[in-house]
Structure 1
Amino acid sequence: MTDEGYQTATVQGKEIPYDPETLRRIRDHPCFSEKACHKSGRAHLAVAPKCNIQCNYCVRDFDCVNESRPGVASEVLSPEQGLARVREILDKFPYVKVIGIAGPGEPLANPETLETMRLIHENHPHLILCISTNGLLLPDVIDELIRYDAYNLTVTLNAVDPEIGAQIYSHVTYKGKKYVGVEGAKLLLEQQLKGIQMAVERKMIVKINTVYIPGINDEHIPEIAKVVGAMGVFNFNIIPLIPQYKFADITPPTPAMKRAMHDRCAPYVKQMKHCQRCRADAVGKLGQDVQSSLSSPCAGEKEE
């Protein structure tokens, strides 16, 4: 315990002071605390189907119950259905401490995301709200996230060089206009870095996801870690590429390559090494998903 009610957490070997509420958001969140993943659960609400960028590794148009990867969800919920699902989850799985929105598209490109967060914040204020985003709209809506106490934030940042980003993104759509190539990648990067800086200034707990794409951004990843570490993000998650869409022919990095990349990035920022590449509707502890035991709020609506 430090002065004025602050406690500390160890980050990169250093004791960093956090107020008790921020420390709770770290210690009870399985993505921000490796210890929490063994005792606390999270639930992703799939309320955000639309996306405003097209990544060359992303496919969202099919679902398999045996497939666990970002962008996959069995059904899309309305905000009201999301709230009902939270109530069912808390009744069946009281160890769930975190409610996150991570797709299946880009959460901030869907107004349903903020409405869902409002409903949960008003009805279950003790829950930790978490958002995962590509960052394009983050500067535009960040204060709304703060309004609903959504202080846990993940931003997917695959390049800090627009020339490399142009190889990863097919297009970026912002305020009704589509951007391609370096122009699109530069716009996305500017928004991402601006949003990350705003989040750090607002005392949000920021995690960076970087997809490890051999032959595209592999030698660039330590530079990403260096940039975001200097900005004050909390941790850094390296996600091996799942070969699909335009990157279907790229061989993904091996576990040994991933470990070596963690070692290269560790001097700059704390590393997250226990990611399970969760579905957009994942429920339960990491690696122990239980969403199949929940009722389907959309089942009755499919019948005419």
Structure 2
Amino acid sequence: MKRMSWEEFARSMGVEPQILENKEARLLKEFVMDLRFPTHCQGCQGLDLSNPNPVHHPSYELTPACNHDCIFCYSNVAVKLGKAPKPGYYGWEGPYAITVSQYGEPLLSKRIVEVNRMLRERFPEARLDLQTNGSLLTEELWKKLDFDLVMISLDASTREKHLMITNADTFDAVVNALRIVGRDKSVRSIVRTIFMPGINDEDIPRIAELAASLGVDEMMLQPLTIHELNVERLKKAGLDFDRAESIREYLKKAMEAKRYIDVRISGCQLAIYRTMDPLTLFSARRVARDVAPIVKRKRAEIEETCDGAFRLNIDGLNLEELAMKLSSRRIGYTMKNGTLRFKDGDAEVVVFKSGKVLIKGVGEEKARELYREYFER
């Protein structure tokens, strides 16, 4: 007996099959397929769905401190749980882009100009992204900085709402920062806004309109991650927790903002949404809750010790594999009690099975060269 498709079976019963369509679902799907990835997300591993363990762009952390106290902030949670990263570079050599920074307010640091210049010299091919709340950005400081992309956070369209969300009376200063970067067409300017239904629903299109009027290039609308330590503050502010997990509600608000500005949504989210059929996209929900933020990048910074050597830690280091590499290059070494030693010119390299590496007898640039030569994967 021939197996029939459902359409053939329906016709055999005298019924003409029809595909039910949800018009709103179709519009959401068309919107998602038309969206471009955020400029900040371009080059990020999270856009590759075949990558089982993607990490974000490298970052340079300056300080976990901040002059805002936002009701949703993951950085505050990290500080309270003792999980905020220490200052330094978290990433690898030859990055596509580097963010300054993911935690705290970078403009609070007196080293912001120095670090900016250092990153430009050390990674001349990398795109440098500044992520800031903007409240401390002035014309004078802006002239000293050299970034390719600037993301300024703004989650309210009025001074009163901004004060409620950030616990800081800095609305006018943030708007002025958007004006400063919006005028500078040598950089990509972005207003970064978090979708918090019940708190800033009506604000999002107004923020988009305001930013566009100031010359800002793009809005990056991000979904809210609800960390447990922030639940009570968000509840008090009026967050609609159910709608915060609705992909449909998130995309509808992005569609509203699109009338005023080039709106983009989180790149790793967009990559997934594009794979969904219209009805799934219409009804799907995302898990918005989390306990604590995770730094999804490894620190590989070389640090100078008090005796002039250079130290670094390498995750997953295998002494036997390193020994084989040295042997294949005909480089002599000794290995005893979980420690491998070898020389390269004036450099003496000591490698411990724990992953710690000491490089003695050379300067920082040579130490970095040796790291790339022997340890970078």
> So what's the TM-score if we normalise by structure 2?
0.53
1:200 paired to 2:155: no
Q: Is the Cα–Cα contact under 8 Å of residues 134 and 156 in structure 1 kept in the other structure?
A: yes
Deviations 1:195-247, CA, capped at 9 Å, x for gaps: 11111222221111111222221112111111112222121111222234211
Q: 5 Å matches for 1:186-225?
A: 188-203=170-185, 204-225=187-208
Deviations 1:105-146, CA, capped at 9 Å, x for gaps: 11111123332212112233222211000010112521121x
* Count of residue pairs brought into register by the alignment: 229
What is the identity, as a one-letter code, of the residue corresponding to 1:32?
Answer: T
The 3 A distance-change label for structure 1 pair 61 and 296 is farther
Residue 61 of structure 1: how far off its partner (Å): 5.2
What is the identity, as a one-letter code, of the residue corresponding to 2:253?
Answer: M
The 3 A distance-change label for structure 1 pair 168 and 34 is closer
Out of 60, 65, 88, the position equivalent to 1:50 is 65
Residues in 2 aligned to 1:36 and 1:63: alpha-carbon distance in whole angstroms? 26
Q: Is the Cα–Cα contact under 8 Å of residues 41 and 97 in structure 1 kept in the other structure?
A: no
Residue 280 of structure 1: how far off its partner (Å): 9.0
Residues in 2 aligned to 1:253 and 1:222: alpha-carbon distance in whole angstroms? 20
Counterpart for residue 39 of structure 2: 32
Residue 296 of structure 1: how far off its partner (Å): 6.9
Residues in 1 aligned to 2:196 and 2:254: alpha-carbon distance in whole angstroms? 14
Q: Secondary structure at the match of 1:238?
A: strand
Q: Is the Cα–Cα contact under 8 Å of residues 212 and 241 in structure 1 kept in the other structure?
A: yes
Counterpart for residue 234 of structure 1: 217
Counterpart for residue 77 of structure 1: 87
Residue 248 of structure 1: how far off its partner (Å): 5.2
Counterpart for residue 105 of structure 1: 104
Q: Is the Cα–Cα contact under 8 Å of residues 48 and 112 in structure 1 kept in the other structure?
A: no
The 3 A distance-change label for structure 1 pair 136 and 33 is closer
Moved more, 119-128 or 130-139: 119-128
What is the identity, as a one-letter code, of the residue corresponding to 2:75?
Answer: R
The 3 A distance-change label for structure 1 pair 295 and 150 is closer
Counterpart for residue 6 of structure 1: none
Out of 244, 253, 258, the position equivalent to 1:266 is 258
Q: Which runs of 5+ in 2 are unaligned?
A: 1-35, 49-54, 270-291, 306-310, 313-377
Residues in 1 aligned to 2:102 and 2:190: alpha-carbon distance in whole angstroms? 17
Residues in 2 aligned to 1:118 and 1:35: alpha-carbon distance in whole angstroms? 23
What is the identity, as a one-letter code, of the residue corresponding to 1:239?
Answer: Q
Residues in 2 aligned to 1:101 and 1:281: alpha-carbon distance in whole angstroms? 17
Residue 275 of structure 1: how far off its partner (Å): 3.9
> So what's the TM-score if we normalise by structure 1?
0.65
Across the aligned residues of Structure 1 and Structure 2, the Cα RMSD in angstroms comes to 3.4
Q: Which runs of 5+ in 1 are unaligned?
A: 1-26, 65-70, 173-183, 283-288
Out of 161, 165, 169, the position equivalent to 2:162 is 165
Identity of aligned residues (%): 20
Q: 5 Å matches for 1:109-128?
A: 109-128=108-127
Deviations 1:238-283, CA, capped at 9 Å, x for gaps: 1222234211573125111111011111111111123459x9986x
Larger Rg: 2
Residues in 1 aligned to 2:40 and 2:177: alpha-carbon distance in whole angstroms? 23
Deviations 1:130-183, CA, capped at 9 Å, x for gaps: 1000010112521121xxx3131000011121122122122x3xxxxxxxxxxx
Higher relative contact order at CA 8 Å, sep ≥6: structure 1 or structure 2? 1
